Amino acid sequence: MDDFRRRVLLTGAAASVVMLSLPVRAQQWTPTRPIKLIVPYGAGGGTDQAVRVVSDKLAAALGQPVVIDTRPGASGVIGTDAGAKSPPDGYTLIGGSDIAFTILPHLQKVPYDPRKDFEPVSLISTFPIVLVVNPSLPVKTMRDLVALGKQRSLNFGSNGIGSSGHLAAEQLRAAAGGINFTHIPYKGQPQVNTDLAGGQLDFALSSVGAVGELVKGGRLRAVAVTSAERIASFPDLPTMAEAGLPGVDLTVWIGLLAPAQTPKDVVARLSGELTRILKMPDVQARLIAMEHTPASGTAAAMAERIRVDYDKWGKLIRDTNMKIE
């Protein structure tokens, strides 16, 4: 064998060894049929609206329709459980929110484990809670409210025991060193707003989207917001920290999850596409118009948010002996 042929064979062999030593690049998951997205709340609600902002973009990116399947009931438990029990093949997603994943499991027995039965895919958005009062109440600042609540018991309304508004009120009670209020739970936010505007309630803690127009119309007065930053629609409204109550810190999250054991390449593809989608200017504009803050699209951020909130709300619920009656 001449030197030239020997060098060619040795070079080829060496190249083969190098190729064998390189990691095999995984092929990107590509769906071949429509994807079902279960929304465990009613059509037109905050979770439903937020997931619809990204669902069409996700469908375009994946080349398959994303079909919204609303399954409301039991504060999100029914639809969330249906998602947990779906095949882990990438063709079912769940539009999650904090109530079903980080709050209700501490208040009642649920048929799923929020930390084991799901694969976090992506946060979509967060939004704060606003403390609003009846305009006839002599309260314009949080200091006013705390002082009044130490003089007499106030009537506080929320859309249910364990709701975000209820949790924020309990944070307020602790941060203020004790404030007297009677919690009156309702079955929905509209009745809370009606009774608050009518004077049957003194204050409530509600999403900006639920009370914003009433505040602008003068039927309610906004006092402070529970997020770390001020909100664009009410730039003069202080945060609870600015109002001297840094212990009141609550934002509601909305995100997408998949059933546990969904393959990692599927989750990676979905999370990667959502990370890109959530950076799109038109997507951000639509979420901001809903009074939402666009969130990180990574699966890691979603998992961390569930972990932190699960522990935080569990402690608050235990410390206040909160129970669903």
Q: Look at residues 135, 99, 113 and name the one whose alpha carbon lies nearest to residue 250.
A: 99
Q: Please list the pLDDT of the chain residue by residue as tens digits (325 residues).
A: 555 455 544 555 544 444 444 444 456 899 999 999 999 988 888 899 999 999 999 999 999 999 999 999 888 999 999 999 999 999 999 999 999 999 999 999 999 999 999 999 999 999 999 999 999 999 999 999 999 999 999 999 998 899 999 999 999 999 998 899 999 999 888 899 999 999 999 999 999 888 999 999 999 999 999 999 999 889 999 999 999 999 999 999 999 999 999 999 999 999 999 999 999 999 999 999 988 999 987 899 999 999 999 999 999 999 999 988 6
Q: What is the CATH number of the domain that holds 72?
A: 3.40.190.150
Q: What is the CATH number of the domain that holds 204?
A: 3.40.190.10
Residues 114 and 137 both lie in one domain:
no
Count: domains in the chain: 2
201 is in which domain, residue-wise?
128-225
Asked whether residue 244 is assigned to any structural domain, the reply reads no
Asked whether residue 303 is assigned to any structural domain, the reply reads yes
Residues 136 and 188 both lie in one domain:
yes
The model scores a pTM over 0.95 = no
CA distance 181 to 202: 9
Asked whether residue 177 is assigned to any structural domain, the reply reads yes
Residues 287 and 139 both lie in one domain:
no
Residues 132 and 221 both lie in one domain:
yes
Residues 118 and 265 both lie in one domain:
yes
Contact 150, 274 (CB under 8 A): no
Residues 71 and 145 both lie in one domain:
no
Residues 180 and 167 both lie in one domain:
yes
Residues 6+ apart with CB under 8 A from 71: 38, 39, 40, 78, 79, 82
Q: Which of 182, 210, 225 is the last residue of a domain?
A: 225
CB atoms within 10 A of CB 66: 21
Q: What token pair was written down for 256?
A: 């997408």
Residues 292 and 311 both lie in one domain:
yes
